[in-house]
Amino acid sequence: MLVGILLCGLGLARAGRAIRFVPYPVIGGFLGATGWLMVSGASQVITDMRLAAANIHALVSPASLSKLTAAAAIAVSLYFGLRRFGNPLVLLGLILAGIAAAHLAFFATGISITDAQAAGWLFKPEAAVALTLPWNFDELSRFPWPALPRLAGDIIAMMFVTVMSVLLNTTGIELETRYEADLERELNAVGSANLLSASLGGYVTCSSLSRTTLNYEVGGRGRLSGLTVAAISGLVLAAGSGFLAYVPKFVLGGLLLYGGLYLLYRWLLDSWRYLSCVEYISLAGIALIIVEWGFIAGVLIGIVVGLATFALSVSRVHAIKFSFDGSEYHSSLDRRPDELALLTEYGREIQGMFLHSYLFFGSANRLHQHVKALLAKEKCRFLLFDFRLVTGIDSSATFSFTQIKQVADQCGARMIFTSLTRDLEKAFRATRFISDIIVAPNLDAALESCENTIIKAHQTHNREASTLREWFTEALGGAENADQLIQHCKRIEVQPREIIVREGDPANSMHFILDGRVGIMVNGGSAPVRVRSLGPHTTIGEMGLITRQPRSATMQAEVVSVLYELSASAYERIKRENPGLSHALLTYIITVMAERLGFANRAIGVLQR
């Protein structure tokens, strides 16, 4: 009754999926051990002796060998019969043929039924039985209720064993039939069956891996197999089991032998081909433990071994999804050429790493070793770690980051964490570690701040005050071209958050940003998303001006900005009336687009590492 309630409760709570976390070698070892127990059980049925070292001399005696040989003949006939015909009726025909052949042999050799039973060829007659009422209240009154607390441990153990048996048997059946089971439905079904059995005075029961596997192997696929078993069981219950005295043991033992040998071959021999060496050794070891000490010890030890193997395997996975430096991967701020040149030259002072997966003692230690090697060969000013793809972290990993900070401090590098979730930040704060580092909301903001520091540190003169004419003179290759282009441009001053052009508008102009900062926004569904920012001495809208395609993004001022607008009509006039300026302007636009394409290629290269 308690087992039924527990199984139904687990089914309703959808707790059966926990078995999905049991390592594959544990399930394979369980199935291999099941195969051995079936073979040993077949020996018990055929010779009344299990396969054990103490029984070897008795098992190799002529009498036992003859019985085992007859059972082996049944198993071999079943194997070839199923491979040749593939019909479920092969099993029934083989059982009937085996019974008939045995009795013909008894008749031919003059062995009577009684002698055959005495020699162990046939089952001995069962004592007469009769149906009784499942509940007897007089018996309940004589039950030793005070002893129940002392049996609580055994009852709990039985409940645990039954639940594990149901889940492992169901998973084993899944692997054998290659059909996914509904674990919750199986738990509820077996739980309901136990409740019904308890109400009728029956025993604890669960699904049978061996019988289900044998049924599947002989071709049983539908409910008819279960209904047939139920009908025969009911008939035996009503008419008695006396007919079993005429059934040869080796026939039924041969069926068990076939099923057991199949599982042994499948999981202890054939699995060698598609499992790694470590997994196969784990599987074979778990099977041996189950055979020697029982399936609870085997499963528990197997889970521990599986977890240790998993931890070792995961520790080999690098915690860094990809790494970069500031010379090849920039923030979304589009900078002027002299600043880009400084970042190309000194950008390696920024070293960044995108971390991923769950960080624990194994992977974090590898990260520590990687950072030590990196700082030993690179001059680093900023060390960035992005946690956007990190799912969690344990306490030992936070200690590894403490070691990384010690190395960074010795090298004069500042550590920056970006995209920390609340749980990750809480884990770091618990070790009082995060108070000594820089925390940025996202990688882009951190990169922009680091780039500003690098540029300021290495800039030899102030370019902030350069005029529009000076910019155009350098960009177009001469003061004359600069003066002519300024005459065709219109000065625009915009306020913060002011829209300059909208996504989908006609592309009828390009803009030169003299001062300020402009954001490039795209429609992100619920809200606009900024994909890039452009600072002083950068251009925007040049592609639309040339291709005349509608605007692909919205331009919005982020601060007070001064822009110079070159309209499409002015551009066409330049092409008609001033070929030299047109050529210089087109060369500048191609140079800008080539720089952006080069940056995109470098960024893609970083992401594909």
Report yes or no on 580 lying in a domain. Answer: yes
Q: What is residue 462's predicted lDDT score, i.e. its pLDDT? A: 53
Residue 484: CB atoms within 10 A of its CB come to 19
Regarding whether 474 and 582 lie in a shared domain, the answer is yes
Asked if the model's pLDDT at residue 142 lies above 80, the reply is no
25 lies in a domain? yes
pLDDT at 276: 82
Please tell me which of 90-94, 378-382, 540-544 the model is most confident about, judged by mean pLDDT: 378-382
Give the CATH number of the domain where residue 534 resides.
Answer: 2.60.120.10
Residue 185 lies in a domain: no
Question: Residues 287, 33: contact at Cβ < 8 Å?
Answer: yes
- CA-derived radius of gyration, the chain: 40
Number of domains the chain contains: 3
* Mean residue pLDDT across the chain: 85
* Residue 143 included in any domain: no
Which pLDDT score is estimated for 101?
92
- Asked, for residue 182, whether it belongs to a domain, the answer is no
pLDDT, position 348: 92
Which helix (H) or strand (E) covers residue 1, if one does? Answer: none
Say yes or no: 51 and 80 in one domain.
yes
Identify which of 563, 558, 491, 554 has the alpha carbon closest to the alpha carbon of residue 518. Answer: 558
Residues 250 and 332 in one domain: no
What's the confidence (pLDDT) of residue 461? Answer: 60
In Å, how far from its chain's centre is CA 68? 46
> In this model, does residue 124 exceed pLDDT 90?
no
| Cβ count within 10 A of residue 424 | 19
pLDDT given at position 465: 45
Q: Are residues 485 and 508 in the same domain?
A: yes
- Residue of 583, 338, 324 whose CA lies nearest to 462: 338
Task: Clarify whether residues 338 and 486 are in a common domain.
Answer: no
Same domain, 414 and 487: no
| Sign for the pseudo-dihedral over CA of 183, 188, 192, 197 | positive
Same domain? For 288 and 160 the reply is: yes
pLDDT attached to residue 607: 67
Exposure pattern of 369-381 as b/e (b: 16+ CB <10 Å)? ebbeebbeeeebb
Residues 271-282: what's their mean pLDDT?
85
* C-alpha dihedral, 227 to 229 to 231 to 234, nearest 10°: -140
pLDDT at 300 over 50: yes
pLDDT one-digit tens code per residue, 41-84:
999 999 988 888 888 888 889 889 999 999 999 999 988 888 88
Domain end (from 399, 423, 458): 458
* Final residue of a structural domain among 439, 458, 477: 458
Strands lying side by side in the sheet with 554-557: 333-334, 528-534, 518-523, 554-557, 499-501
State whether 167 and 301 are in the same domain: yes
Residue 365 lies in a domain: yes
Give me the percent of the chain exceeding a pLDDT of 70.
95
CATH of the domain at 420: 3.30.750.24
111-115, 147-151, 383-387, 527-531: which has the highest mean pLDDT?
383-387
Residue 603, pLDDT > 80, answer no
Domain end marker among 458, 486, 503? 458
- Rounded percentage of the chain residues whose pLDDT exceeds 90: 28
Q: Are residues 445 and 569 in the same domain?
A: no
pLDDT, tens only, 345-404? 999 999 999 998 888 877 888 899 999 999 988 889 999 999 999 988 888 888 888 889
* pLDDT for residue 245: 83
Are residue 238 and residue 202 in the same domain, yes or no? Answer: yes
Query: Residue 45: CB partners within 8 Å, gap ≥ 6?
Result: 249, 252, 253, 256
The answer to whether residue 277 sits within a structural domain is yes
For residues 454 and 474, state if they share a domain: no
For residue 124, give its domain range.
2-128+153-174+196-306
Q: What average pLDDT does range 227-254 have in this prediction?
A: 83
| pLDDT for 499 | 92
- Confirm whether 112 is domain-assigned: yes
Q: Write the secondary structure of 282-313 as one string of H (helix), E (strand) and C (coil).
A: HHHHHHHHHHHHCHHHHHHHHHHHHHHHHHHH
Residues 161 and 30 in one domain: yes
